[in-house]
Structure formats: C-alpha cells, structure tokens
Amino acid sequence: MTEKPVDNEGERHSVQFGGRKIEFALVWRNRAHLSIDVHPDRTVIVVAPQVHSLQEVLERVRKRAAWIVKQLDYFERFEPLPPPRKYVPGETHLYLGRQYRLKVTKSAKDDVKLLGRYLHVFSNQPGDNEHTKGLVHGWYRAHAQVMFERRLALCLQAARGLDVTAPKIIVRRIKTRWGSCSKRGTILLNTELVKAPVDCIDYVIIHELCHLKIHEHTPAFYRLLSRCMPDWEHRKARLETIIL
C-alpha cells in the first residue's frame, strides 16, 4: 500500500487456471515489485513494474492463481452484495462498525447528527436524495478526519518501537483500497474506513506506519507488522468481511 491507490480501469487480461478463467485489471507503474490484490467485490487488480513484459506478468499471475481463486471463493460467500444506497429514510448506514438508520427531517439549516440509533439528517431539501447523499458524505468525511487523527496518535503510542515521525493524514474516498502511504511520509486513508470497527481502523493505520519503515510488502515488512500488531491477520480478515 505504498503508492497512489489504483482503480479497476487498467488493461483487461485473463489467465486460465484449470477450468476457471481469472480476469484481472493490469496497471503499469514505475515500481520495483509486482502486486496482486483481490477485493471484496471480487475484482482482481495487478500492479506491475513498467520494465516487465506482459508475458512476465501473465506468468506471475498464473503462479499465484491458486491463491487468487481461494480469495475469490472466500469473498463469494458474502454475496449478493447490497444494492447501492439511495439515501432515503429508513436505510441503514455504518459508523465505527455499528448500524444506524437514516432519518431525514426538514430544517432551515443543513446538518447531520448521530442521535441514538439514528443518523439524523436535517435538510432544507428533505425530498432531494442527492442533497441528502452530499450531506451524509460530508459528515463521514469530517468525522473520518477527526477519528483517524485520534487513532493515529494512539497507534503511534502503541507502536513506539517504530520510531517514526507522526505523518500527515489525508482523507479521501478511494475505490479499491483502505489506505496508502507515500514515500514522502503522507498517509492517505479511505473515508469509508470510518464505517469499520476501531480495531480494523487501527490495523490499517499500523500497516501504513510500518510502510514508513519498509515500503514494499516483503517478508521483513510482515515481520515488522507482526511485531507491532500480533493479531493483524485477524483484524484484516474482519475488515475484508465488511461490505460497504
């Protein structure tokens, strides 16, 4: 997760694994190592060094085919995916791992508040679902910034052995990743992550803090991650089951 996040609009390719066809999006980058990610929506994203040939990439994907199929089958258990939210009263929305029902009330001033088990939207355009959507997204963005900075401070204390300077956090909606870390030391976190439980948020933050020391997903990186957060695999698995 060290580079700018990718979307799934790369070149379309596929490889055959037994009787199964594995389709994936291929994105070329100026980087040293190839990475393969399987996402909860069952898209497969391959990010490859520009110096590689297409044949080299296809061969690497074939070598990882058994693992890719295992991940695809794992995520298939959680289908069907929920339909896109319409931002109408009664819908459920997540915040820190808990569900809240959307309530929309006419008001002279736009505002959003968490009241009891409701995500309460006060709107001067209560019948305009797009307006409601904008207000809800704005509320998530503002709360994500505050929550992520708070959790970052706690994670830095918990992982003092990393000996890293507190990075700048940027919050933005990302299509396919929970977070990324630039080599300049800036951490980008997905606004959607604020919908996950706190222990999952901490996992992503610790993951990115470890990237400040080791940029690639090497065995040394995972040893460092395990030292900072011994149960990271459990947290990662829990995060992967969250369908937003």
Structure tokens at 125: 């355009």
Q: Do 28 and 149 sit in the same domain of this protein? A: no
Residue 185 resides in a domain: yes
> Cα 199 from chain centroid?
14
Same domain (yes/no): 101, 197 = yes
Answer yes or no: is 85 within a domain.
no
DSSP, res 81:
P
pLDDT along the chain (244 residues), means of 10: 46 94 94 87 91 95 94 75 86 96 97 97 97 98 97 93 91 84 88 96 96 89 95 91 68
Domains held by the chain: number: 2
In b/e form, how buried is each residue of 215-232, taking b as 16+ CB within 10 angstroms? beeeeebeebbeebbeeb
H runs (alpha helix) in 2-104: 54-63, 65-76
Q: Are residues 157 and 236 in the same domain?
A: yes
The separation between CA 198 and the C-alpha centre of its own chain, rounded to angstroms, equals 14
Going from the C-alpha of 233 to that of each of 99, 169, 177, 199, 220, the distances in angstroms are: 24, 24, 17, 12, 16
Q: Considering the domain boundaries, does residue 145 fall inside one?
A: yes
Residue 203 within a domain? yes
- Determine the Cα angle at 95 with ends 94 and 100, to 5°: 55
Residues 105 and 217 occupy one common structural domain: yes
Residue 192 and residue 103 share a domain: yes
In a domain, 3, yes or no: no
- pLDDT at position 33 is 87
pLDDT of residue 88: 96
* Domain enclosing residue 108, as ranges: 92-240
